[in-house]
């Protein structure tokens, strides 16, 4: 019995076209809801009208050719409007929530050092009770000795985490780095809004007493700190990438995106700098497993024969209990003698 090849091909093409139409419809609906300039009850009425018109045009387009042009026109206008939205025009008059109100400024000095100003240095009494304070710092890229990776889980979630870096200098100071969602006042972070240009991404360059202590001492997050095996030269080059990235973000803001431009994917170029052959891994999307991924790729320093589970248990950081030297206190369990490194 001969298979009706033409019929199968038509059915497959119809199925693919239908799936593409549904995906386009859903994306355009999200773009319309989150980015179109309607407000209040007008927003709801306008969105309902948009959905009905667009949905009808797509449905009728499968039977009548002229409606395909209507659906295509609506989709094209939606895409063009969405593409026209930039951080500069979308957040022109926005007021940011206090933790992300200021972006760090980087000035590259003639002697090779870098001066950082507008560095967040909040003094916390609880998660929501803090003194707003900013500081400045001059760093010498030639004096960076090591780099650490921090992974912080919240609400018991293991597949999701926030990843950060910290550079250690010869003089004992640390510079912590975090790519975060910059939220307007009154906004809450969500996955779907994060796909449709609702936030900016901001690079925080701070002291560990701000960035890490907030998580270990006040939020009570499940926090891990790992020493990487990056060489001094690699650390220097990575630090320069970070500083140049912060300078670019300050002058040319970028939208946060839940999938493509978030706290973990924004660090991927740094990983490729250490190992150019690194092409990425799906576990960077489920970033709660990023530390295990980096262990497998050989990025994390560990003792000879030490399994990842053993390294993770040793790298857990809990409440610093008000230690005078916070950075030293959170590293007392995971220090490694060079002779122990595998």
pLDDT of 284: 65
Report how far residue 80's alpha carbon sits from residue 268's, in angstroms, rounded to the nearest whole number.
29
pLDDT in tens, 177-223: 999 999 999 999 999 999 999 999 999 999 999 999 999 999 999 99
Which is more confidently placed, 169 or 283?
169
pLDDT in tens, 236-273: 999 999 999 999 999 999 999 988 777 766 666 666 66
> Long-range contact list for 133-139, CB < 8 A, 24+ apart?
134/102, 135/207, 137/173, 137/175, 137/207, 138/109, 138/113, 138/114, 139/113, 139/114, 139/167, 139/169, 139/173, 139/175, 139/239
Mean pLDDT of the chain, nearest integer: 88
Q: How far is CA 176 from the centre of its chain?
A: 15
Comparing 101-115, 118-132, 171-185, 274-288, which segment has the lowest mean pLDDT?
274-288
> Distance between CA 21 and CA 28 in Å, rounded?
10
pLDDT band (50, 70, 90) for residue 281: low
Average pLDDT over residues 306-333: 89
**With bands split at pLDDT 50, 70 and 90, how would you rate the model's confidence at 339?**
very low
Q: What is the mean pLDDT of residues 44-58?
A: 94
Confidence (pLDDT) at 127: 92
Predicted confidence at residue 288, as pLDDT, reads: 81
Contact present, 49 and 29 (Cβ < 8 Å): no
Instruction: Report which of residues 65 and 334 the model is more confident about.
Output: 65
pLDDT level of residue 65 (50, 70, 90 thresholds): confident
What pLDDT is attached to residue 278? 64
Residues 28-37: tens digit of each pLDDT: 999 999 999 9
pLDDT score recorded for residue 177: 95
pLDDT greater at residue 39 or residue 202? 202
pLDDT in tens, 126-184: 999 999 999 999 999 999 999 999 999 988 878 888 989 999 999 999 999 999 999 99
Give the pLDDT of residue 269: 63
Query: Which pLDDT belongs to residue 1?
Result: 47
């Amino acid at each position: 019995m001969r298979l009706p090849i033409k019929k199968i091909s038509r059915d497959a093409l119809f199925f693919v076209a239908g799936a593409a139409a549904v995906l386009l419809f859903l994306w355009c609906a999200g773009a319309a809801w989150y980015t179109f300039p309607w407000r209040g009850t007008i927003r709801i009425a306008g969105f309902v009208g948009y959905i009905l018109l667009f949905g009808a045009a797509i449905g009728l387009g499968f039977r009548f050719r002229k409606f395909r042009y209507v659906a295509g026109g609506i989709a094209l206008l939606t895409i063009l409007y969405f593409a026209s939205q930039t951080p500069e025009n979308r957040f022109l008059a926005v007021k940011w929530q206090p933790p992300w109100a200021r972006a760090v400024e980087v000035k590259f000095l003639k002697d090779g050092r870098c001066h950082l100003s507008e560095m967040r240095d909040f003094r916390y009494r609880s998660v929501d009770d803090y003194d707003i304070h900013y500081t400045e710092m001059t760093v010498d890229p030639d004096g960076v000795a090591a780099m650490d990776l921090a992974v912080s889980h919240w609400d018991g979630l293991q597949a999701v985490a926030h990843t950060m870096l910290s550079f250690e200098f010869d003089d004992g100071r640390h510079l912590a780095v975090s790519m975060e969602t910059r939220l307007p006042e009154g906004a809450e972070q969500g996955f779907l809004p994060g796909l449709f240009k609702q936030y900016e991404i901001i690079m925080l360059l701070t002291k560990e007493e701000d960035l890490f202590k907030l998580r270990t001492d006040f939020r009570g997050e499940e926090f891990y700190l790992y020493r990487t095996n990056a060489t001094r030269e690699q650390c220097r080059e990575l630090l320069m990438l970070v500083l140049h990235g912060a300078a670019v973000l300050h002058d040319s803001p970028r939208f946060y995106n839940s999938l493509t431009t978030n706290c973990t994917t924004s660090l991927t170029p740094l990983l490729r700098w250490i190992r150019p052959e690194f092409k990425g891994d799906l576990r960077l999307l489920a970033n709660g497993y990023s530390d295990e991924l980096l262990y497998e790729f050989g990025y994390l320093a560990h003792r000879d024969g030490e399994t990842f589970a053993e390294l993770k248990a040793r790298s857990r950081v809990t409440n610093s209990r008000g230690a005078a030297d916070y950075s030293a206190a959170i590293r007392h369990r995971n220090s490694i003698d060079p002779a122990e490194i595998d």
